[in-house]
Chain A
């Protein structure tokens, strides 16, 4: 069972208010000493190593593999191929729910994307397995790969994202555009991006008869367990998955991936525990990516800057064999008031792995285009881009007409602008240089992300010694669940954080829902909160129904829990320790259960989103085109913050993903072979330390009485949105050039000084 010893968090100031405290993360000690165990760190006795052989063609068939050569290599134990593999109980291409994706598990010799697993070599050492995989020397029957939008037929997908309609229309876009005094139309392109957490997918799988033990990073333990149970035809209770720490996830560890299942199959095949770890290049194929997009925005406005029409069209791509359509145009649903609004999506099918959820799926992709287009319209209106945004501030959600459950965006604009010094910004582009002669530009972007909740459960226990225990199969991919959820748990039980043991990260614990959609703290947090209330309620019933208790007759509603005691609400001189209540009842412990999910009534009535404003400064070398983000200030409002330190850290990380989106990340696909040509961390560029400016994240207070009882919105993804657009807009402001193909590279800007 994964758990973290309680100890070092500084005592908080007031009892009953662990939440809201900027506590140091509780897993910090394990992580700075190397003691935190990630999946690949496990080494059960008898462990064998498995290495995937991946396809080097994007489409066709595997004609032959040199099995003899691989098997002859010393240390090689087995080669798993379509002809030699354990049977599965279900077709991995079958789908029974929208979160189920088709997996390549060596079911046949067909290749549907470059990097697809075509065999797995199992050996006594990693070196032997690696060499064995190289010796397979596959021969292929190759078919031409479809790699770009021009290579395939455009169609309208039945749904985008998770079940959103491909097209949503409000008002008459054509008429409003025609009537508008000013119009712009612009097309923006974003590339395929790969999640690339620093921890590659890894699995250590061990079978014991029909029981399976798995160490693997997972953002969704219960879903992963159900998927394995279905594929292998065993009861879910037979499977234990441990994932106390993920070395980053960003969406690619949300659904169990094909390579993880291959590790389980390999262990089944050889009858020994198997470790399978992806090489970095293997992270570019079978574990998901962000699909490329070509987005066309058409905006119409009055001369004074009031929008009349906003039309956001996205062309994106999925794989040839599965459906995930990046819902980029939906980014235009919530931010700017416009009498006519349309979001539309079309797609093609390419010979790639299936794209999946990647941090702010749709929101990030759509935001950079929308924020650029809004900026272009502001310029067309000769208006300051912040003033233009305020002119079109949405008082109700534009796409639905619903009021917002809370929206402190005006304050985000104001606080961010003030901190950044926005009022000093010259309206015209190309007007600022620094002392070294670099072009300087300032840009703004609006950030937004929906406040989602999934479904989760938790169990809370009060023990005979008066301490507490929270059990919740939550997943910590770095965001700080071990700390923030424990804070909520301590509050729910009326205890100090130090008195509460918190268990998470295992499929044997109650299903906490998926760690994704920036919804985990709200979902698991509400489940924990409810479980705590349930346990306290049961404890209170014991006390108030027992005439020997000081609380006798107070009634359930009449007590409050604080610092390990129940107090009569109307007379706080009368109280009793948890431990005493349990002792008198002869109980070893008392437990409660709770669940968390969105409130359908509130959902029907309100639009729920977090908001923010990001201000960026870029400096550009006029001759060489080198672009540097020199300042980034974000102000975000996301409801109640359980732990401001963790939240700020999420904003920093998100803002850097925005920098990366605008300036760095791009998978380059070879049009002839369909292979990703930069499938490594040298050429697939993510920001390094020296790329990153000094960051500021302002936490804007926001009370939200509707979103859930704890008032929590998500913070994990929002900061990418707004940041990327702010940088793009700053580049225009520095150079006077609108660069609409992302990432913006130095080739595009070189020689701008003219």
Chain B
């Protein structure tokens, strides 16, 4: 079985995986990082989004062996060591951008990548289009858009964090 060495949330891991093992399975079953969810296994829902070397990736369509040498960030790795939330997490919580919360980790990870790659203030429509690859069956998206709109201000230093 091939070995994969990767950094996840700042911690180095070397694990044996089958070549067919998906990154999401490695994270969830081998590393116990179950905040990353699986909602569709066909790359539509975005519940499984993590960052690989800073870019959002649907980990259900990414082989674990592809992550060899990479740095992976999951929802568990966003908050500071003292528990201070990432501005996007804080905004999702504050703006009620979740109900069941199953889509939330993937939605947060996608939204962070979206904001990181848009230094200019995004309009509501741009946020909506940017998050098209993440499904939420509960919230009607309205509060998710509000949360991302608020978080982009904080992330680009235009406003203070929620709370």
Contacts and interface: CB of A to CB of B under 8 A. Distances in A.
B32 A478 contact: no
B141 interface: yes
A688 B89 contact: no
B49 to A, nearest CB: 12
Interface in B111-163: 124-125, 127-129, 131-145
A43 B39 CA distance: 18
Given A24-B94, A127-B25, A198 B47 contact: yes
A196 B42 CA distance: 14
Contacts of B37: 38, 40, 198-199, 247
A200 B32 CA distance: 19
B35 A197 contact: no
Given A24-B94, A245-B101, A478-B101, A34 B45 contact: no
A653 interface: yes
A35 interface: yes
A682 B38 contact: no
A656 B144 CA distance: 14
Contacts of B20: 127
B123 to A, nearest CB: 12
B57 interface: no
B144 A689 contact: yes
Interface residues of B, number: 61
Interface string B41-69: 11011010000000000000000000000
Given A41-B34, A478-B138, A689-B141, A32 B104 contact: yes
A85 B108 CA distance: 42
A250 B92 CA distance: 22
A41 to B, nearest CB: 3
A645 B97 CA distance: 11
B38 A40 contact: yes
B25 A250 contact: no
B135 A686 contact: yes
Contact of A277 (B35, B38, B74, B100): B38
Contacts of A34: 33-36, 74-76, 105
Contacts, number: 180
Nearest to A654: B140
A181 interface: no
Contacts of B28: 41
Interface string A128-142: 000000000000000
B29 interface: yes
Interface string A10-38: 00000000000000110111111111111
B70 interface: no
Given A28-B93, A478-B100, A680-B40, A250 B137 contact: yes
Contacts of A29: 85, 93
B135 A478 contact: no
B137 A196 contact: yes
B151 to A, nearest CB: 11
A691 B139 CA distance: 13
| Residue in A125, A645, A681 whose Cβ sees the most chain B Cβ within 10 Å | A681
A218 interface: no
Interface string A652-665: 11111000000000
Nearest to B75: A34
Given A25-B96, A198-B102, A688 B38 contact: no
A265 interface: no
B135 A681 contact: yes
Contacts of B39: 198-200, 247, 280, 681
Contacts of A262: none
A377 B113 CA distance: 51
B99 interface: yes
A746 interface: no
B96 A681 contact: no
Interface in A619-651: 645-646, 649-650
B78 interface: yes
A31 B32 contact: no
B98 A653 contact: no
A474 to B, nearest CB: 14
Given A653-B99, A688-B135, A681 B40 contact: yes
Contacts of B42: 280, 680-682
Interface string A100-129: 000000000000000000000000011100
Interface in A682-700: 682, 686-690, 692, 694-695
A689 B102 contact: no
A67 interface: no
Contacts of A280: 39-42, 45
A690 B129 contact: yes
B70 to A, nearest CB: 19
Interface centre among B32, B38, B78, B132 (most CB of A within 10 A): B38
Nearest to B103: A198
B99 A480 contact: yes
Given A24-B93, A126-B29, A689 B100 contact: no
B21 interface: yes
A735 interface: no
A479 interface: yes
B137 A32 contact: no
Contact of A652 (B38, B94, B101, B140): B140
Contact of B78 (A33, A38, A477): A33
Contact of B139 (A30, A277, A653): A653
Contacts of B142: 652, 692, 694-695
Nearest to B85: A32
A647 to B, nearest CB: 11
A249 B124 CA distance: 29
B21 A689 contact: no
A27 B101 contact: yes
A425 interface: no
B96 A649 contact: yes
A279 interface: yes
Contacts of B94: 24
Interface in A191-250: 196-200, 245-250
A35 B37 CA distance: 12
B35 A35 contact: yes
A248 B102 contact: yes
B46 to A, nearest CB: 9
Contacts of B125: 690
A33 B41 CA distance: 22
A31 B101 contact: yes
A137 to B, nearest CB: 19
Nearest to B18: A127
A153 to B, nearest CB: 36
Q: Which of A31, A247, A654, A680 has the most CB of B within 10 A?
A: A31
B44 A681 contact: yes
B32 A43 contact: yes
A31 B44 contact: no
A720 to B, nearest CB: 11
A246 B127 CA distance: 27
Contacts of A655: 140
Given A199-B37, A250-B137, A688-B135, A652 B143 contact: yes
Given A33-B35, A686-B137, A248 B100 contact: yes
Interface of A: 24-25, 27-38, 40-41, 43, 125-127, 196-200, 245-250, 277, 279-280, 477-480, 645-646, 649-650, 652-656, 680-682, 686-690, 692, 694-695
10 contacts: A31-B104, A34-B33, A38-B37, A280-B42, A477-B100, A646-B96, A649-B140, A680-B44, A690-B132, A695-B142
Given A38-B102, A247-B37, 10 more contacts: A25-B96, A25-B98, A32-B98, A38-B37, A41-B34, A125-B18, A198-B135, A248-B102, A646-B96, A653-B139
Interface of B: 18, 20-21, 25, 28-29, 32-42, 44-45, 47, 74-76, 78-79, 85, 89-90, 92-94, 96, 98-105, 108, 124-125, 127-129, 131-145
* 10 shortest interchain CB distances as A-B pairs: A34-B35, A247-B102, A478-B100, A31-B101, A478-B99, A41-B34, A652-B140, A34-B75, A656-B140, A681-B44
